[in-house]
Structure 1
Amino acid sequence: MRKTGLLLLLFPLLASCGVVHSVTGEKRYTIASPAMEPTLPLDSKITATVVKPGSYQPVDGDIVVFKAPAEWDPDKTGTARIYRVVAIGGETIACCDAGRIQRNGKPIDEPYLKVPGVNEPFPGVTLPAGSLFVLGDNRAHSADSTVHGPVLADTVIGVVKTD
């Protein structure tokens, strides 16, 4: 009974320090860029389910937190990046069909975009196994895979909860 009482007293303190999120496999982030608006507004707080390095199983549409590769992080800030997965290894991604992204030759539905149908054309690329093509929902303000190229799925450190 004493241990339970002690835990009940410590839980709020641990939660306020962010320790509970570590214990529960979640991590909090503050959105520092408009790249994922309107889904994740600038300065909003989000929770991501932590994934062990190399254990992420890619799913189109996931919003992922990943450790930026060197070419994405020239200033070597080590800042995690948060973008939406639009294609995974083995898929071909291209733009555009009337401003819409094409995956495997078919336009994809993207109801989450800040401005639907506004994409800068980019050449088609077939992703190697273990790679992800990630884009921001606010395409006009997003330095994503259209600029830097694909990222490795092994760099994913979290999956954002949007519910």
Structure 2
Amino acid sequence: MNTILPTSEPAAEELRRLAAAAEPALRARPDLARTVLNLARHQRRRRRLGRAAASVGGGFVVLTTLAAATLLGRAEYFTVPQPSQNMESTVRVGERVVFSKKLLPARGDVVVVKLAENGHEYDSIMRVVALPGDTIGCPAEVTGQCEAIVVNGVTVPEDYLGTTVTDPFPTSTVPAHMVFLLGDNRPQANDSRYIGPVKLTEVTGVAVHIKDSEGRTRAVPGAPAHDGPGNRDNVDPAGPVPPPGVSETR
């Protein structure tokens, strides 16, 4: 025969509280297992998406790099190093000139042209002094020296030359589709006085600015002002200098 021990009211209340607290653990919800499984699947899916995003991000970087490499040579702007003294002191040897492919050359512009000597093709940087149909010459004064070049009968000031003297050369008319080019270092430059006018199709770029060896940028003296590349514009790096044995000076 079991004996029932009397229970005080506070003790009974404590037992009821403990039983109520233990009830959820003793009587689990029927859908608890399904909820746990769904949570696990969701976490696995998030991990997969994270890995896929990282993969896509890496692929985007690769594609961007490939696109940049593919577009090399297709930018509007490109850089050419000055290999000779034919443009001293406007452009010094080793300085880099940034050119635009889209600008049309005007009088005073510094341009880069493709020339060839002894079977070697190279870039030459010179200044446009006359356009197709212009007359150009440097007549000798009574002193035997030429004081200034004359284009279409008008004396052209060239303050950017400093004390450089231009030897006299006869007046001629620039043929159609050609330009007359001079180097700023007149005593040494091998230019249109000796090689004749150059075809416009050989002009590959018009200078927008010059960069010195420290990377500082300056405008092109004596040339019309042109907008240069912006922060988001691509500029192709400097290409090769003329091969050994090829000289732009006389």
Q: What TM-score, normalized by structure 1, do the two folds share?
A: 0.78
Q: CA offset at residue 24 of structure 1?
A: 2.7
Question: Which structure has the greater CA radius of gyration?
Answer: 2
Are the aligned partners of 2:179 and 2:197 in contact in 1 as well (CA < 8 Å)?
Answer: yes
- Structure 1 unmatched runs, 5+: none
Are the aligned partners of 2:104 and 2:206 in contact in 1 as well (CA < 8 Å)?
Answer: no
Inter-partner Cα distance in structure 2 for 1:48 and 1:20: 17
- Name the structure 2 match of 1:89: 132
Matches within 5 A, 1:58-77: 58-68=105-115, 73-77=116-120
- Structure 2 unmatched runs, 5+: 1-55, 210-218, 220-250
Are the aligned partners of 1:21 and 1:27 in contact in 2 as well (CA < 8 Å)?
Answer: no
- Name the structure 2 match of 1:43: 94
Amino acid at match of 1:111: D
Residue by residue over 1:95-129, the C-alpha shift from the partner in whole angstroms, topping out at 9 and shown as x without a partner, is 0364210101121011221534x111111001122
Q: CA offset at residue 140 of structure 1?
A: 1.2
Inter-partner Cα distance in structure 1 for 2:104 and 2:101: 13
Are the aligned partners of 1:134 and 1:145 in contact in 2 as well (CA < 8 Å)?
Answer: yes
Work out whether 1:108 is the aligned partner of 2:151.
no
Inter-partner Cα distance in structure 2 for 1:37 and 1:46: 13
Greater share of strand = 1
Work out whether 1:133 is the aligned partner of 2:180.
yes
After superposing on structure 2, the runs of 4+ consecutive aligned residues of structure 1 that deviate more than 6 Å are none
Aligned residues, how many? 149
Work out whether 1:148 is the aligned partner of 2:195.
yes
- Name the structure 2 match of 1:119: 166
Inter-partner Cα distance in structure 2 for 1:147 and 1:127: 14
- Name the structure 1 match of 2:44: none
Work out whether 1:6 is the aligned partner of 2:54.
no
Residue by residue over 1:53-97, the C-alpha shift from the partner in whole angstroms, topping out at 9 and shown as x without a partner, is xxx6331011111111xxxx3322200111000000111000036
Matches within 5 A, 1:8-23: 10=65, 22-23=73-74
